[in-house]
Amino acid sequence: MGLDIYHNELFVTDWGDEQHLAETTHIYRIGKNKTRTTVQVNGRVDDVRVYAEETTRKGPNGWDNNNGGCRYICLPTPGNRSKCLVALDKSHGCGEYVSPSGFISSPSYARQSMEIEDCIYIIKTTPGYRITLTFLTLETEDCRFDFLQIRDGSSELSPSMGVFCNTSVPDRVRSTSNTMWIRSRSGSQSGTGFNATYSSAIIPQKFLLVTDTYNGIHRIDIDTGSNVTISPDGLRNPFGIDYDPVDGRVYWSEKKTIRSANLDGSDARLVRSIGQGGDLWSLSVDSVSRLLFYADEGNDVIGMISLDNNSHHIVVDSDISQPVDIELDKDNGVIYWSDYIREKIERCNYDGSDRQTLISASRYLKGPYGLALDTEGRRLYWADRDTQLIGWTDLDGKRSEVYFKLEGSHFVGLDIYENELFVTDWGSEKGLPETTHIYHIGKNGTMRAAVQVNGRVNDVRVYAEESTHTVSTPPVPKSDHIIRSEDTDSDGAKTSIILVGVIVPLVVTAGIATLIVFIKKRKSDQQAIG
């Protein structure tokens, strides 16, 4: 009846003389020389298979990654390749996705020939979450027939996020709502379509992040003041913090490590561990250049890490005593930092060249901590914990003034958003407060509001994403006028992406500010809290 082979030996089942009515049957093992061993079974054996782990194929094949990029069935073919089968139902709707994350591809992906197909996909996630679509591949033959259209919502009338064809597409597209509408049109003979992954996470459009030594990281709504505590795995005594809107991750510093996580606290990762003597304070992320800068008060250096490959470089390592906060002029590649011990604020280029002292010790600057850079107003603000004031200087260092003063304060972190300052204050208890404040200071130096935190807050960053999409509906491509998409400007300003004869305005990361507050501590404070 049944037959299989293993190591040049055959295994065969045999019902024997009684044929269909056998009650005692056999399994024969037949060797190379036709020698035979027998296993007698009290029953009727049928099929037989041999399994041995060492003979199981473990090498690569064309479909061993994400189902080979196929939406339905993937077939391995000769030459370590694969072929996608398409469902018989070629209706206009090609799928609704409701899971928090997953894989999505066009029916035509990896097929060598096809009919014209026009598919609509709708991705839905939890209300309050946003969807990030990350492209793995988009390859088309002719933009008249092959293109991908994405809308920020659940219908073809939702705001457009772009019409894409050929191989030039953004790395990722992020919705502003919990739904995304995707149209995939495929009609060429050799185009391979698209495949992508999608994920969802809480990504508010305007918020304040605060690191709390005692309680974790707070995400505070700027308008309502609602407070959500984030506790990523491994979080312990966070100090500096920043947010990268490109990958949707929070970065924070602890005493000897830099870590990151999604904005809801999931997927926590170690970015870098600083060696002996490390005592990390502030950090700052340039999301366009994919660089992270940090202040190490233990080793008296300012370092730089590539977020793409984790390579590491020391930018400043001389004539620096206690670097506390870092601000970045991302348009010009300039670092500003406060030096608490030397009582001054300095700057240099990203590579450490052209180092200058912007402002040094004075009656208003004795213990600079937090910094906030106003690139449009050409001002740098500083929070001074010793003089209990906030001051500013122009970027030439020729003029400086007092902006705000509060007796009994102990200012730490500082950031700016729409000409308003956010500053953290330990208060009169200084090193050992249990209740601290975040002050909101208006244009005229008047305190508008204060958020009270039962914990110890340090650095502060503001994140506010303005409107990112227009409401216009681009036409479907109809002509032979094909233009490949263009790269966005390095400064992330509003840029037009020209695709298949359609101009789609796109606002990327430059129009984004971030408010994040960190928990910072001096050595004496660390000793006090153990």
One-letter identity of residue 298: G
Compute the average pLDDT of residues 479-485.
30
- Tens-digit pLDDT profile for residues 163-214: 887 756 677 788 888 899 998 877 655 556 778 888 888 777 788 998 888 8
Look at residue 518 in the predicted model and tell me its pLDDT: 35
Terminal Cα distance for the chain, rounded: 75
What is the per-residue pLDDT across 322-363, written as a single tens digit (0 to 9) for each? 999 999 999 999 999 999 999 999 999 999 999 999 999 888
Please report the beta strands in 98-146, taking only residues with DSSP state E, as ranges in sequence order.
101-105, 117-124, 130-139
Q: What is the 3-state secondary structure (H, E, C) of 354-419?
A: CCEEEEECCCCCCCEEEEEEECCCCEEEEEECCCCEEEEEECCCCCEEEEEECCCCCEEEEEEECC
Q: What is the pLDDT of residue 259?
A: 96
Predicted local confidence at residue 64, as pLDDT: 56
Window from 78-82, 158-162, 231-235, 447-451 with minimum mean pLDDT: 78-82
* CA 19 – CA 380 distance, rounded (Å): 95
Q: How sure is the predictor about 230, in pLDDT bands with cuts at 50, 70 and 90?
A: confident
Q: Which strands, in side-by-side order, build the sheet including 24-30?
A: 3-6, 9-14, 24-30, 36-42
What is the pairing mode between strands 206-212 and 512-517? parallel
Cβ-based neighbour number of residue 441 at 10 Å: 22
Only one residue has tokens 């049957």, namely 25
Which span out of 99-113, 130-144, 225-239 was modeled with the highest average pLDDT? 225-239
pLDDT at 497: 28
pLDDT at 78 over 60: yes
User: Tokens standing for 204?
Assistant: 């508010």
Of 16-20, 80-84, 290-294, where does the model show the most confidence? 290-294
Residues 6+ apart with CB under 8 A from 299: 274, 277, 278, 279, 317
pLDDT at 102: 86
Amino acid letter for position 469: H
pLDDT tier, 63 (very low <50, low <70, confident <90, very high otherwise): low
**Tell me, what's the pLDDT at 492?**
35
Pick 460 or 171 by higher pLDDT: 460
> 248 falls in which pLDDT band (50, 70, 90)?
confident
Q: What percent of the chain has pLDDT over 90?
A: 36
3-state SS of 74-94 is EEEECCCEEEEECCCCCCCEE
